[in-house]
Structure 1
């Protein structure tokens, strides 16, 4: 029996030697408000700082008391509440789509949408920088897949022009999660329309950050409501909850209800998450300046670290070596600053990094502390590597 497990022990040892072993680091609950002496968070995706907002917490609690702790079943059986339907309508109206469909996670939304929209008669063209959920969706799609170089519209055009399949589906993030750069959405849409392809855009890191009032990069690009554009989204970042959604033409929604396996066979999103997301969306609609503030804070982080002008809430400090990046992230954590540490396979080999995520509610005192901590941590070997990658 143990012989069957030996290979996993050996694989773990190899990853550890390469600086790629991962361990869980549980958070501890703050004793009071997180801005009163607690650790500074630059690691999460709580871009608008709404996770502990009183209205968001109240929305979750209210839904919990009305509907119970769980959704009790799949969306097609008992897992759809009136609040699920309200959230779908509110999300669709916010981003300018005709309809919405809520899934149990953003990962499930991408898996369900791509596999339901693809198949043996469909070519998928996927950006090399797409999120892992889209990569896995491609693998499950039963489609031929062409991975286009990052943000290379000409490569997408060539793949569509030379395809033998009747249909085509182009996949891209709107804001790429590791580098924080933006997809060329207008150019991609022109190419898709010229060749009769659907464009699916993952707005996980765009909603709440880009576009008027945080309506996303698709809205900013003037593509909201286009019938050949499918938007996927997560509720776990700017909307401070959990879950995912597909926002699209009504014909797409009807098809997904019938064919998206992660919708049909997964338990519906828990009511408390639905209530929290609805409340967070209401706060964002009332306070559209939050989207401006998070980009302002990202510029502050870029100034502190000396990297280029950010296009999103993500600021990447590339250190190259995975062990150097891990050690730098650990040193930050020991000083009360939580930062992301991205290593392969999350990013390409040689580009391990600290990934800093801005929050709209970072204070001047937070920024001063961040400046001090990062200045100390990046002053040694990490600074030498950082300069080499500049």
Structure 2
């Protein structure tokens, strides 16, 4: 039984030893520095001081390094000193004792006051250095915030500029192009300010990242539209109308609707009042009957077919004008199969 008891005691000893080694190995340099610093601070300037067991090491702050023995020591020293700040210091005790009188009366050897092994000047310098480093970090953080805000403002203003540039580009021609007219409506309802207003100030880091992401996608959309509009304008300018120009009047307009069953156009409306059409190099203006509204479309020369001059306008409509300029077939409302569903027949065409 003694043998088994000794064996159990030996096993318990090994377990405790392993736990102690695990604890020691698990300590960081900051932990070790704190433990020693706390004891030194607690007994600072105290004669025959028995330091207590230090408390659990606190977590390092953002301005302290968990791998720094020095940072841990300084924190422990200050905490240990503060924990015993209400007790008398050795200086207070020594000030109440007359060492000369004691030495004279009992003839004992003179003892000097105990000296601390700490380099207080070095500690003071380190603390000043840490304070300077802290102030530098605060200044750097403020500088980073200002730089980020500046870049964010520049990015937002860039979005505003792209938006304004596209609006100015399409404003004079939006009515002449069907797609551009739809784009203008979209832009009016979706300015970049609408995205910015979704996020309140001050912005969090997450809000700022989401704002930049949304504006980046928006800017890409605006840039794509700007490219398409410029390509469309260039497409029409490269093929100007040099065939017909000036103002023409038409005595009658007959509107037709395509019948998919018969494959023919059937009349459904007639305008007997005089109508007017004006041709320019890249534009066509027209006024139907007694309508007070003058509309205009872009105009692009396409070629000649079956003794008719062919033109396309900015709304994907086709104009076929006979070579004598006496009538116009105006086909519009193209379906998915390339078939125009309506046409207007302008007759009695006469140049003014």
TM bin, normalised by shorter chain, reads under 0.3
Structure with the largest fraction of strand? 2
TM-score by length of 2: 0.22
User: Which has the bigger relative contact order, CA under 8 A and spacing at least 6?
Assistant: 1
TM-score by length of 1: 0.21
Structure with the largest fraction of helix? 2
Larger Rg: 2
